[in-house]
Structure 1
Amino acid sequence: MTSNNFRMDDFLAGWVGGASSVVVGHPLDTVKTRLQAGKGYKNMMDCIVTIYRKETAWGFFKGMSFPLATITAYNSLVFGFFSNAQRLIAKRRYGDERHPAGLADVAAASMLTGLVSVSMGAPIDLVKIRLQMQTHAAGVAESFQLAGGASSHNMAGVRSLHMSNGGGGFVGAYRGPLHCIGSIVRREGLQGLYRGGGAMILRDVPGYALYFLPYAVFCDLFKADAHDDAPHPFAIWLAGGLAGSISWVTATPADVVKSRLQADAHLHRKYKGVLHCILHSYKTEGAQVFFRGASVNVIRGFPMSATMFLGYELSLQFFRSF
């Protein structure tokens, strides 16, 4: 599974960890997206109850097929690139790829990973959010308000999320992930798939540093024996969960901007770019808007990341046992 300094097992283990984390975290990810990009929810519990009442339990899993198919590949890229970047840095700095990574090495590999991850992550997040923001019925469309003030008397803000079915009602504009991708490319070109990419860079470059660094620190802290190379599975689970919560709560302001840009309708678009979105959101809703969904991020960040790191580490041990 190796070629010179390059290893494929990290990519395979990242694929396993990514798949398990999607199943665990998608319901709260939907709540987070609705809180950040939508308007009219009083708080997290009100959002949960509203989704369940109007869309049933299926509403929490809306758009999951796409991330399940793609987040696995995305996390394979993240963990594979991060681990190989660490080895390359160790080879360049110390002459040995097996040299233990210092915190500066982990930070450098993390930030490079965050930058590279946007190439795949931006289109995935865009399609996921467009699907999550869809509703099934006209009644939901009338009560739902996109952030920025679209009202039930002015449906222009939600026309891109709904289309007439010819019979007077509304159906979801996107029939599924592939139809969503095709619609975005047809209306906005290939660059449309990277809407919100700038905000994602602002989120993920520091965000991954605050993901892998705490994980490394907590893993060392929770080791039963300082001489052990591999921490106990419970230590991995706990370290991963804490790292996820830290990373997501600090990334929330940039995540809010990214979600708003990606959920913004192509027709009657409100936000011209990252800076305009920040200023407009601040002027209309105050500084607190940038922490909308922070509680959801902290809560969902723990089980998602705990599952992610545990799946990754155990899979890696399995693949390297051959």
Structure 2
Amino acid sequence: VRIQTERRYRGIWHCIQETYRTEKVWGFYKGVSASVFSVSLISSVSFGTYRNFLRSICKWRYGTADAKPSKLDIVLAGSATGAVRVMLMTPSEVAKVRMQTQRRPHPSAASPHPASKPKYQGSLHCLRVIAKEEGFGGLYKGCSALLCRDCSSSAIYFLTYSVLCNWLTPEGKNKPGFLVVLLSGGFAGVLAWGLATPMDVIKSRLQTDESGQHKYKGLIHCARESVRQEGVKVLFKGLGLNCMRAFPVNMVVFVTYEAVLRFTNRLTN
């Protein structure tokens, strides 16, 4: 988030060094409560939503929910999943971004000097302050960018996983093996984040725009101003870090997903 929203960092390592120098280890864990809550909740909701959407589409198109879905079916289910996820996760995303970009104590209204406490004292406190100062709409800042990001990236995410699993699974086997799931999940995550990063940058910048600043008027204005001031490369800030994180995380995510699916299938059959 800091790399995407601030021009002072020259790269990943410079950001790490500066964060540690000014905030020590604690600086790397800002917004972690919002992240843990949102990731655990959203992951379960996303995969459940995707599976239900896919089964509904198959039943509508082919007459049975167990029919083999086409690539279009997967794209539609993935896009719908992204839209549902945005509605659930935007407030926690706003809190995470605000917490991670907060470094200095917030100056009080009465004094130009920093107050003894930062403006946001935790994720829940952050949400309360945003709702109080900016209204309900403040909790959904950047929602348009998130919709663009998640609808497209979710479609690519699930499509890539499905295509790679089918391609890497030997003929005659109904289910992909452990290694196939690992590789397919990892590459699906990398490709999805490669597509999502430009909108992720715009989303982060919109969400750091607090009340009283009004630096950006909306998604298009934010994108135009960012490119005008920093060039097209600004849209790919954090791409390397996103991809480095995406591969191992999504390997684990899809292995867990497949394990849960197979476990529930054994229980129901």
Query: What TM-score results when the alignment is normalised by the length of structure 1?
Result: 0.78
Q: 1:220 to 1:184 in 2, by over 3 A?
A: same
Structure 1: which amino acid aligns with 2:63? G
Q: Residues 162-177 of structure 1 correspond to what in structure 2 (within 5 A)?
A: 162-164=106-108, 168-170=113-115, 171-177=117-123
Which is worse superposed, 303-312 or 210-219? 303-312
Distance 2:33 2:94 in 1: 14
Distance 1:305 1:89 in 2: 25
Distance 2:186 2:118 in 1: 35
Structure 2: which amino acid aligns with 1:86? L
Q: Report the number of matched residues.
A: 265
Give the C-alpha shift of residue 91 in structure 1: 0.4
Q: Residues 286-297 of structure 1 correspond to what in structure 2 (within 5 A)?
A: 286-297=231-242
More strand per residue: 1
Give the C-alpha shift of residue 304 in structure 1: 1.7
Give the C-alpha shift of residue 228 in structure 1: 2.0
Q: Is the 8 A contact 1:219 1:239 kept in 2?
A: yes
The percentage of counterpart residues that share the same residue type is 37
1:38-72 Cα offsets, whole Å, 9 max, x none, are: 22000111112222222223322211112212321
Structure 1: which amino acid aligns with 2:149? R
Q: Structure 1 stretches of 5 or more lacking a match?
A: 1-32, 139-161
Q: Structure 2 stretches of 5 or more lacking a match?
A: none
Q: Is the 8 A contact 2:9 2:15 kept in 1?
A: yes
Structure 1: which amino acid aligns with 2:131? V
Q: Is the 8 A contact 2:160 2:188 kept in 1?
A: yes
Is 1:309 paired with 2:254?
A: yes
Structure 1: which amino acid aligns with 2:204? S
Q: 2:264 matched to which residue of 1?
A: 319
Helix, strand or coil at the partner of 2:266: coil
Q: Is the 8 A contact 2:197 2:235 kept in 1?
A: yes
Helix, strand or coil at the partner of 1:41: coil
RMSD: 1.8
Is 1:236 paired with 2:181?
A: yes
Q: 1:182 matched to which residue of 2?
A: 128
Q: 2:137 matched to which residue of 1?
A: 191
Q: Is the 8 A contact 1:118 1:200 kept in 2?
A: yes
1:137-196 Cα offsets, whole Å, 9 max, x none, are: 56xxxxxxxxxxxxxxxxxxxxxxx24499954432111111111111111111111100
Q: Residues 13-28 of structure 1 correspond to what in structure 2 (within 5 A)?
A: none
Q: Residues 1-322 of structure 1 correspond to what in structure 2 (within 5 A)?
A: 33-135=1-103, 137=104, 162-164=106-108, 168-170=113-115, 171-223=117-169, 225-322=170-267
1:83-134 Cα offsets, whole Å, 9 max, x none, are: 0010001101111111111111101111111122211121121111111112
Q: Higher RCO, 1 or 2 (CA under 8 Å, sep at least 6)?
A: 1
Query: What TM-score results when the alignment is normalised by the length of structure 2?
Result: 0.93
Helix, strand or coil at the partner of 1:39: coil
Q: 1:158 matched to which residue of 2?
A: none
